[in-house]
């Protein structure tokens, strides 16, 4: 019998796309006072580091690229315009470009490191339950690794970073409608991969 589990496992839920008013105030303050940029750094450094780490797969390069992301943001903060999307999308866009350059310079294939992405829930579950959950998560993540790079990135941004379609479009340089279309095709591809591996994903209910 095929195992069944939802493709929304691993924290897969839609980003709410809401902008934090504190971020807006902080970015305006940072335009005239670089010290105010520290508030934004503290708020987003963890998320940006996680995103970069998942894209490059090692701590040293992730730390370097994260630092460069915020250095570049600070250098360009005076010209920042929200264009209706949260400040987080701007940081992710800078990180995205730096990671792309990193891989292009080194001719490395971009992959999502599975061991880092498997949900760490064993500490709150019975060992048998955690083992089953991790097996299912690994099946899903193996399927993600077989996706084209742009679809891997979409999955990471939507389901791990919880960005909205508009924010993802800002990061990836796509329209919101293009992101929605890619998302739909990605879910279909994941379903096929999982069914081929003996796992039948639920429809999310």
pLDDT in tens, 158-185: 888 888 898 899 899 999 999 999 999 9
Delimiting residues of CATH 1.10.1740.10 domain(s) in the chain: 17-113
Residue 3 has pLDDT above 50, yes or no: no
Q: Which long-range contacts (CB under 8 A, 24 or more apart) does 132-137 make?
A: 133/9, 136/3, 136/5, 136/9, 136/199, 137/9, 137/10
Least confident range from 40-54, 75-89, 114-128: namely 114-128
**What's the CATH code, domain 121-205?**
1.10.10.10
The length of the chain is 205
Instruction: Compute the average pLDDT of residues 16-23.
Output: 55
pLDDT-based confidence at 129, cuts 50/70/90? low
Q: Which helix (H) or strand (E) holds 187?
A: helix 176-196
Burial of 174 (0-12, 13-18, 19+ CB in 10 A): middle
Residue 199 pLDDT more than 60?
yes
CATH node for 17-113: 1.10.1740.10
**Furthest-apart CA atoms within the chain: distance in Å:** 63
Q: What is the mean pLDDT of residues 98-108?
A: 79
Query: What integer pLDDT is reported at residue 63 of this predicted model?
Result: 95
pLDDT digits (tens, 9 = 90+) for 46-82: 999 999 988 888 899 999 999 999 999 999 988 888 7
Q: Residue 124: is its pLDDT beyond 70?
A: no
CATH 1.10.10.10 in the chain is located at 121-205
Kindly report the pTM of this predicted structure. 0.66
| The pLDDT value given to residue 182 | 94
> What integer is the mean pLDDT of 88-93?
90
């Amino acid at each position: 019998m095929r195992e069944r589990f939802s493709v929304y496992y691993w924290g897969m839920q839609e980003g709410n796309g809401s902008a934090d008013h504190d971020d807006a105030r902080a970015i305006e303050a940072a335009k005239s006072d670089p010290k105010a940029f520290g508030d934004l750094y503290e708020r987003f450094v963890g998320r940006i580091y996680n995103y970069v780490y998942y894209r490059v797969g090692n701590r040293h390069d992730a730390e370097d690229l994260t630092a460069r992301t915020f250095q570049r943001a600070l250098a360009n903060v005076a010209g920042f315009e929200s264009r209706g999307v949260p400040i987080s999308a701007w940081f992710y866009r800078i990180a995205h470009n730096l990671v792309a350059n990193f891989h292009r310079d080194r001719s490395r294939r971009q992959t999502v490191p599975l061991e880092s992405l498997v949900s760490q829930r064993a500490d709150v579950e019975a060992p048998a339950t955690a083992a089953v959950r991790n097996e299912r998560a690994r099946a899903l993540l193996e399927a993600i690794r077989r996706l084209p790079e742009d679809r891997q990135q979409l999955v990471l941004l939507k389901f791990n970073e919880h960005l909205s379609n508009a924010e993802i479009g800002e990061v990836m340089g796509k329209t919101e409608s293009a992101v929605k279309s890619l998302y739909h095709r990605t879910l279909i591809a994941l379903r096929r991969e999982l069914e081929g591996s003996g796992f039948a994903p639920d429809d999310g209910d």
